Amino acid sequence: MKKVRVRFAPSPTGPLHLGSIRTALYNFLFAKKNKGKFILRIEDTDRSRYKSGAENYIIKSLKWCGLTVDEGPAIKGNYGPYRQSERYEIYKKYIKYLLANDFAYYAFEKKNNKRNYNRKKLYLNISNEKTFKKIINGIVFVIRFKIKKFFGLKIKDFLRGKIIINFNSLDEKIIIKSDGTPTYHLANVIDDHLMKISHVIKGEEWLSSFPINICLYKYFYWITPIFLHLPLILNPLGQGKISKRKILKFPIFPLGWKDNKTSQKYKGYRESGYFPEAFLNMLVFLGWNPGGTKEIFSLKNLISIFKIEDINISSAKFNFKKAEWFNCKYFKKKTSKEILFLLKKELKKRNIFYIKIKNIFLLKILNFLRKKCSFLNEIINQTIYFFKSPDLNEKFFFQKNIKRFHSLIWIFLNEKKFNILNIKTLIQKLDLYKIQKRYSIMQLLRISLVGSLKGLDLFFIISIIGKKESLKRIIKFINYCL
């Protein structure tokens, strides 16, 4: 096998969805398995759909997943630039070649818009006098790819084998738009050749443009790389592919994304509490299977066993419950100390870690909850009252019994050694009847400390947050309810 060089070439038109990041993963695994290079190329020629921040999002997503790029916009390589918008000068000579050899032609298509191209971008030799006059007069044009009358075009996909395409079924695609910029059909072939790409691994949705790619390689007399078109990822019902244009009830992006146009925010797998290794492990099985019953593989394991021959030709149905299962498995593998580190990091990010709690107590909380949880977010949501005073959203009127609840303050103040057993006994004696036939003293105490009637054992909570914080919350609650 020749030296493996593969590329992940997304367009910065929004966030990456599951299908795109899976394409990146398969390219990465194939490259690393064969000691090759994994290249990131940004295909940003479609300026009308360009989204600010999308390129940075792509880079951050790959980093979060642990898919290290060998060459790309932020990493120097011998085949740059790695943004197509910076390669227009490179494309010019190839456009000239296609026009000069009757492999492409000017098309003056009727449009209502005014002239929207810049002739200086092209610097093309125009031999036809009528064509030259039309361009000088500002008539809008595009450049189209010319289909030569092959009897049948034989192409080969690694998964699907030989495919015979009749030339009559091919469209003469636009390769230069009216603004002078190249389309995907032209730019990606030129870039793949110049960047010495050995294998083109991309989604099944690009199968329709596959014959055009092959024609261009033939016109340029270039060696064709090996093509492999990945199967689609279908929604859980198996009715259509997962698409970022249709937001579903479960995350479809690796990281969260905010649409600046609509101001709508979308959660990603990271924000939903998934570990990147669990996310990748789930993703790799959407179209690939090494055989056997084992399902838990680290990225290092995947690199060692990955074979493109094991990719399925049929579409994969996404299963959200299975995604949760993978995260649960990785969560259970973490030690209490690892989870504690992640917990503190997340609390700091949320800016809520202002109540100092000793590690020994935090580990107690984790050991109690980790067997019941599959996500770090679940632990935080169930124990947030340990780290911040609760928000009180309901009025509790108990003026008639205010003195009885006030006595809690004296119980805490007089307990100098802060013995939980003594406090428990005193509160139970105090809790003789319900206030206004609704809340008991114990329930009101829980509301004051936790913010709801749910939570762990009340006296366990008091032992963790301590005497000072407990008093502070009781007083806050009394003042709130008056």
> CA torsion, points 409, 410, 414, 418, in degrees to nearest 10?
-30
Strands 226-230 and 199-203: parallel
Q: Which of 241, 207, 238 is nearest to 18 (CA)?
A: 241
Q: What is the DSSP string of 357-384?
A: --HHHHHHHHHHHTTT-SSHHHHHHHHH
Backbone angles phi, psi at 412, to 5 degrees: -70, -40
Strands 153-157 and 142-145: unpaired
| Phi and psi based region of residue 444 (left: phi greater than 0; alpha: psi -120 to 50; beta: remaining) | alpha
DSSP H or E run through 38: strand 37-40
Contact, 392 vs 480, CB < 8 A? yes
Instruction: State the Rg of the chain over Cα.
Output: 31
Indicate if 244 belongs to the active site: yes
Structure tokens at 200: 């083109």
Q: Looking at 96, 134, 244, 467, which residue is catalytic? A: 244
Contact, 6 vs 37, CB < 8 A? yes
Contact, 273 vs 376, CB < 8 A? yes
Task: Show the DSSP H helices in 263-371 as ranges.
Answer: 276-284, 299-305, 320-333, 336-350, 359-369
Contact, 251 vs 269, CB < 8 A? yes
Question: Which residues, 6+ apart, have CB-to-CB distance to 417 below 8 Å?
Answer: none
Amino acid identity of residue 188, one-letter, is N
Contact, 125 vs 100, CB < 8 A? yes
Q: Which of 137, 170, 138 is nearest to 153 (CA)?
A: 170
Backbone angles phi, psi at 233, to 5 degrees: -105, 120
Contact, 286 vs 261, CB < 8 A? no
CA dist., res. 5 & res. 36, Å (int):
6
| Adjacency order of strands within the sheet including 161-165 | 161-165, 153-157, 226-230, 199-203
CA dist., res. 82 & res. 232, Å (int):
27
Q: Which of 382, 380, 379, 375 is nearest to 275 (CA)?
A: 375
Residues annotated catalytic, as ranges: 244
